Structure 1
Amino acid sequence: MSEVDQSTYQAQRKPRSAFASRAEYLDHELQSMRPRRWRPNLPFKDYRFEVEDWVPAMAATIGKIVMVAAIVAAFATQLGLPETFVIENVRFELLIAAILFVVLVSGFLNPNANLAGTHGPLIPLIPLIVASGGHPMALGLMIGVLGFILGITKGGSLLARLTSNGVCGGLLLYLGFIGITGQISKLFAWAEGFDMAYLAFIVIISTIIMYAYLEHIQMRWLAIPLGSVLAAGLSFALGAPFEFTTEPGMPNMNPAYWWGENTGWQLGWPELHHFIAVAPFAILAVAMWSPDFLGHRVFQEINYPKKTEKVLMDIDDTMCTASARQITGSLLGGGNITSSWGTYIVPAAIARRPIPAGAILTGFLCVVAALWGYPMDLAVWQPVLSVALIVGVYLPLLEAGMQMTREGKTTQSAAVVIFSSALVNPVFGWSLTVLLDNLGLIGCKERGKSLGHMGRWVVPGVVFLILCAVMAGIGMFPGLPPLLESFRELS
C-alpha cells in the first residue's frame, strides 16, 4: 500500500473488535480521521456513524427549536406578530439550517467547521434593537458580513490565542453557573404556574441523581436523552399539563412572502437607516463569537484524547460558515441570529465523536421536526428543555471551567472574568480580563512577556475600547444611560 493510502482514514482505522473497550475504540476513531477542509468528505470513506452520534444530534435539535423560537418570538412580540408566525418561521429556519449548512458544510465539505447554531446571549437585546429602528434582515446581513471578515482574516483564532486558560476557564464557569440557575428558575416558574412547585424540585433532584450515576459508570454522554425522558416521564406521571398543537406541514419557502410589506414580517426590505440602527448590535454580536467559539473548541480539547488536533473545531472556518449561514437565512426570510452551535458541540465532545456524522443526523432530525411538527411541542416543553440544557450544556461547561482553573495562577484570571462578567456581561468580562491578563497584572506574568507588544496590549486594548464604546452606545453599562439616545436628544 502506498504512503498516501497509509495516511487515509480507511487505512488507519481498526474495527471495534480490536479494542478492549468502547472508549478505546472511539478514541482511535478520532485519532484516525483525516478531514479535508472545503473538499468532499464522504461517510464510511472518511468517517463512520456510531450510536453515540445520536446524542449530540438529539440535543442539537432540541436546542435549535428552543433557541430559534426564543429569538423569533422576541422579534414577533415587539413587532406585534402572532404566535403562528413564530412557529412557521422556526420551521423555515430548521429547514434552512439542516439542508443548506448542517448537512452540506459540516457533514460533507468541512468537518472542522462546527454547525452554525443560534446566538442566545443576544436575545435580551432584541427589544432594544427593534426600539432603535432595527430590521431583522439588516441585522442578519451586517452580522454575516462582519463575521465573514473576522473569519477570513483569522481574527477569531488570534483572539482565541490571546485568551489564557484562566480567562477561558472563568468564562466557562460563569456561563455554566448562570445557565444552570436560569434554567432552575424557569422550571420552578413553570411548575408554580399550575400550583405544583414541588414538581420542579422532584425533576431537578432526580436529574442530579441520574447525572451522578452516569458519571459513576462513565456514560455521561447519555445524560441528554435519558434526562429528557426522565423529565418528561415524571412530569406526565405527576399530572403536568401538556398537549400537542403543532400539526404536520410545510412552511412557506418564498422569500418574497417573508419580506413582504403585508405578509411574513410585514416590514418590507430594509433601507439604509435600518443598517445604521443595527450597526452597534451587529458589532457586539460578532464580538461575542470569539469567547463563545473558543469555549467550544476548548471543551473538545478537554474531552478528546491526545493526537486529535486534526478533528478539532476550526474557529475561523466556523466563523465563515456561521456568517454564510446568517446571510443566507436572512435573505431567505429567517429570523435566526447565528453563532456556534453549543448544544451540538458540547454533547459531541462528551461522547467523543467528531463533527460530521452527528451533523448529518442533526440535519435529518431537524427536517423531521420541521415537517412533522409534533416533536417541536415536546422539545420546547419546559421540563424537557430545562433538563436537556442543564445536563447537556451548562453542567459540562462548569466541569470544563473547573478543569482549566486547577493549575498555576489561573484562578486569579478566572475570578476577575467572573467578577467583571457579573458586573456587565461576558463580553465585557472577557475583553477586560484578556487585557489585564496579557499585561501581566493578573495571572501568569511570564506568559504576557512572550506575546509581544501586539499581543500584550495593542490588540486586547483596541478590542476592549471598541466593545466598551459599542456597549456604552446601546446602554449596556449598569446605571449609565445609552450614549446614542443622548446624542439623538442633543441633535
Structure 2
Amino acid sequence: MTDSHDDYRHRRRPRSAFASRAEYLEHELQSMAPRRWRPNLPGRDYRFELEDWVPAMAATIGKIVMVAAIVAAFAGQLGLSDDFVIENVRYEMLIAALLFVVLVSGFLNPTSNLAGTHGPLIPLVPLIVASGGHPMALGLMIGALGFLLGISKGGSLLARLTGNGVCGGLLLYLGFIGISGQIESLFAWAESFDMAHLAFVVIIATILMYAYLEHVQMRWLAIPLGALLAGALSFAMGAPFEFTTEPGIPTLNPLYWWGEDSGWQLGLPSFHHFVAVAPFAVLAVAMWSPDFVGHRVFQQLNYPPKTDRVVMNMDDTMVTASARQVAGSLLGGGNISSSWGTYIVPAAIARRPIPAGAVLTGLLCVVAALWGYPMDLAVWQPVLSVALMVGVYVPLLEAGMQMTRKGKTTQSAAVVIFSSALVNPVFGWSLTVLLDNLGLIGCKERGRELGHMGRWIIPGVVFAVLCTVMAGIGMFPGVPALWESFRGL
C-alpha cells in the first residue's frame, strides 16, 4: 500500500500531457493528497507554479495594509508614534511568515489556510482601548477561545448549518461594502491633492482591464496587472509618491515590546485587562465563522470536481489562527488573527492549492519587512485599492451571485444583506441562519433534515449569545451599551 504522497507522484502528469494550462492546473488539484499535521514537501507532495506568485503578491500587499490598520488604530488611542506602527508591522510580518505561513500552511498542514488579519474588528479598537483593554490580553483571549472552537470542530459544524443562500448573501454584502469602501478611499486620496479625476481614470481603466481578463480567461492576473496599471497611471498623471521606509530589522525582543517604558509602554496585562477584553474576544471569534465559511465556499466554487482533499479545513484553520494569535501577542505584535482572505481568494481564482503560494507569501513578507521600500508601495492608495477590488471584492460578488441563482436562496440572501446592513455581518449571519434553518425563509425541506439541534437549538443559542455581547458593548444602532448602563446604576 502506498502513502498519500506516493499516490500524488504516481497520479500527476506533466504539463505537456494536457491541451491547456487550465486542464493541467485542475489535474494538479485533483492529484494532490495533503498529509494533515505531517511534513509535506515540495516536489513530493506539491509543486510550485507561476500562478502561485499571484496570491503571494496579493497576500503580502493585504498583510501590510491590514496589520498597519490594526496597529495604527491601537497606536492612535494609546498616543504612540508612526515609527512605532511601522516597526511593529515589520515585526508582525516576520512572526507571521517564519512561524506560521511557511511552517504550518506550507509544510505541516496544506489544508489550513494562512493566518491573516481580522479586518472587521478594526472599528472596535477605540472601544476596546476605552474599555480598559490591553493588546496582549485581547490576543490571548481570542487565541484561547478560537482554539477551543477549532478542536471541538465548532467551525465546521456552523459551516454545515449555514445554507447556500446565507453564504451567498454574505459574499454579496462583503463584496459590495468592500468595493464601495475602496472607491471612497481612492477618491478621498485623489481629492486630497485636487486631482479627483485621477481616481475616476484609475477605476475606469481597472474595469476595462478586468473585463478583458475575464474575456480571455486570465482573471488570475488581475492583481499584479491591476496594481501595476494603477501605480503607473497614478504616477504618470502626477500623483505624489515617495519611498520613506528604509531597510532594517525591527526589534525582536518581546521584553522591549511589553516594557512599561518601551514598545507598547503598557507593561504586562493584569486580570482586569482580561475581563475588559472578554466580550470583544467572544465577538472576534464569532466573526470567524462567517468569514471562514465564505473563504471555503469560494474555493469550492472555483475548484474543479474531486478536489475535496485540498479545500480549506475550517477547524484546522481556526487552530492555526489561534496559535498564531497567541504567539504573536506573547512576542509583542499587535495583529488580530483570522483567515487570510487576500490570500485564499486569489489562490482559488488561480486554481492553486494552499501550500506553494504560502511558502512564496512567507518569502515576500520577509523581503518586504527587511527591505522596507515595498511596504511604501503596497500601502500607496491606488495600488492598495485596486489590488483589493480586483483580487478580493469583485470575486466575492461573483461568487455570491453564483450561489444565489438556484432555488429559494435569494430569500435568505436578501435577509442576510438586510440584517447585516442594519448591524454587522455577524448579526446578519446568526439571525439568518436561525430563520433559514427554522424554515421561515429559504428552502423549508432543508430545515426538516437538520433535526432539533441543527434547526433551532444551536442557531438559537449562538444568536442569543452574540446579541447579548453586541448589546453589552453598544453595537446595536441607537441602543446604549448595556454594560455601561449597568455601571452607572
Q: Same fold (TM over 0.5)?
A: yes
> 2 CA distance for matches of 1:353 and 1:66?
24
Structure 2 CA distance for aligned equivalents of residues 430 and 459 of structure 1? 13
CA distance in 2 between counterparts of 1:96 and 1:214 reads: 35
1:301-346 deviation digits (Å, cap 9, x = unpaired): 0000000000000000000000000000000000000000000000
Question: Structure 1 residue 451: deviation in Å?
Answer: 0.2
Q: Provide the C-alpha distance between the structure 2 equivalents of 1:58 and 1:65, rounded to a whole number of angstroms.
A: 11
Q: Which residue of 2 aligns with 1:358?
A: 357
Q: Confirm whether residue 333 of structure 1 aligns to residue 332 of structure 2.
A: yes
Give 1:253 deviation, angstroms: 0.3
For 1:223, the equivalent position in structure 2 comes to: 222
Report the Cα distance in structure 1 between the residues aligned to 2:277 and 2:202, rounded to whole angstroms: 41
What SS is found at the alignment partner of 1:400? helix
Equivalent residue for 2:166? 167
Letter in 2 for 1:30: L
For residues 134-166 of structure 1, the C-alpha deviation after alignment (integer angstroms, 9 at most, x for no partner) is 000000000000000000000000000000000
Counterpart position of 1:81: 80
Q: Distance in 2 between matches of 1:488 and 1:43?
A: 57
Q: Is this contact kept in 2: 1:5–1:11, CA < 8 A? A: no
Question: Contact (CA 8 Å) 1:74, 1:127: kept in 2 or not?
Answer: yes
| Aligned-partner SS, 1:115 | coil
Shift of 1:438: 0.1
Q: CA deviation at 1:32?
A: 0.3
Structure 1 residue 8, shift from structure 2 partner:
1.6
Q: Which residues in structure 2 correspond to 1:204-353 (within 5 Å)?
A: 204-353=203-352
Q: In 1, are the aligned partners of 2:5 and 2:45 still within 8 Å (CA)? A: no
Contact 1:108–1:356 (8 Å) recurs in 2? yes
> CA–CA distance in 2 between the matches of 1:4 and 1:462?
43
RMSD: 0.8
SS of match in other structure, 1:442? coil
What is the deviation of 1:430? 0.1
What letter corresponds to residue 371 of structure 1 in structure 2? L
For residues 332 and 134 of structure 1, the distance between their equivalents in structure 2, rounded to whole angstroms, comes to 18
Q: Offset at 1:218?
A: 0.1
After TM superposition, list the pairs within 5 Å mapping 1:82-231 onto structure 2: 82-231=81-230
What amino acid does structure 2 have at the position aligned with 1:101? F
Q: Distance in 1 between matches of 2:3 and 2:76?
A: 57
Q: SS of the counterpart of 1:8? A: helix
Is the contact between residue 94 and residue 369 of structure 2 (CA under 8 Å) also seen in structure 1? yes
Provide the secondary structure at the position in 2 that maps to 1:20.
Answer: coil
Whole-angstrom distance in 2 between the partners of 1:38 and 1:391: 33
State the alpha-carbon separation in 2 of the partners of residues 50 and 313 from structure 1.
19
CA distance in 1, matches of 2:219, 2:442: 32
User: Alpha carbons of 1:276 and 1:3: their partners in 2 closer, same or farther (altered >3 Å)?
Assistant: closer
Q: Which amino acid aligns with 1:361?
A: L
Corresponding residue number in structure 1 for 2:458: 459
| Counterpart contact for 1:55–1:224, Cα < 8 Å | yes
Whole-Å Cα distance in 2 between the matches of residues 409 and 473 of structure 1? 35
Identical pairs, percent: 83
Give the partner amino acid of 2:443.
C
Offset, 1:53: 0.0
Asked whether the equivalents of residues 257 and 263 of structure 1 are also in contact (C-alpha less than 8 Å), the reply is: yes
Residue equivalent to 2:412: 413
Give the Cα separation in 2 of the matches to 1:425 and 1:362: 30
Alpha-carbon offset, residue 4 of structure 1: 4.8
TM-score (norm 2): 0.99
Q: Secondary structure at the match of 1:98?
A: helix
Specify the SS of the correspondent of 1:244.
coil
- Amino acid in the other structure paired with 1:402: M
* Aligned twin of 2:19: 20
Runs (4 or more) in structure 1 with deviation over 3 Å come to 2-7
The question of whether the paired residues in 1 share the 8 Å contact of 2:5 and 2:44 is answered with no
Aligned: 1:481 with 2:480: yes
**Are the aligned partners of 1:412 and 1:443 in contact in 2 as well (CA < 8 Å)?**
yes
Q: What letter is aligned with 2:373? A: Y
Change beyond 3 A, Cα 1:68–1:5:
closer
The answer (yes or no) to whether the contact 1:6–1:12 under 8 Å persists in 2 is no
Q: Deviations over 1:85-124 (max 9, x none)?
A: 0000000000000000000000000000000000000000
Deviation per CA, 1:138-196: give whole Å up to 9, x if none. Answer: 00000000000000000000000000000000000000000000000000000000000
Q: Distance in 2 between matches of 1:84 and 1:242?
A: 19
1:448 aligns with 2:447: yes
| Kept in 2: contact 1:176–1:397 (CA 8 A) | yes
Alpha-carbon distance in structure 2 between the residues aligned to 1:4 and 1:321: 25
Residue identity matched to 1:485: E
The 1:409/1:371 distance shift into structure 2, 3 A limit, reads same
Q: Is the 8 A contact 2:171 2:396 kept in 1?
A: yes
Cα distance in 1 for residues equivalent to 2:191 and 2:305: 47
- List runs of 5+ in structure 2 lacking aligned partners: none
> Is residue 48–residue 356 contact of structure 2 (8 Å, CA) maintained in 1?
yes
Q: Which deviations, in whole Å up to 9, do the C-alpha atoms of 1:374-426 show, x marking residues without a partner? A: 00000000000000000000000000000000000000000000000000000
Q: Aligned equivalents of 2:351 and 2:229: distance in 1?
A: 23
Q: Which moved more, 1:175-184 or 1:6-15?
A: 6-15
CA distance in 1, matches of 2:175, 2:450: 29
Aligned mates of 1:5, 1:113 — CA distance in 2: 17
Alignment check: 8 A CA contact 2:4 2:33 kept:
no
Residues 17, 246 of structure 1: alpha-carbon distance in 2 compared, 3 angstrom cutoff: same
Q: TM-score, normalised by structure 1?
A: 0.99
- Is the counterpart of residue 375 in structure 1 residue 378 in structure 2? no
Q: Which runs of 5+ in 1 are unaligned?
A: none
Cα separation, 1, equivalents of 2:350 and 2:284: 29
Amino acid at match of 2:170: L
- Superposed displacement of residue 7, structure 1: 5.8
State the distance in 2 between where 1:180 and 1:424 align: 19
Could you tell me how far 1:5 is from its partner in structure 2?
7.5
- Number of aligned residue pairs: give it: 489
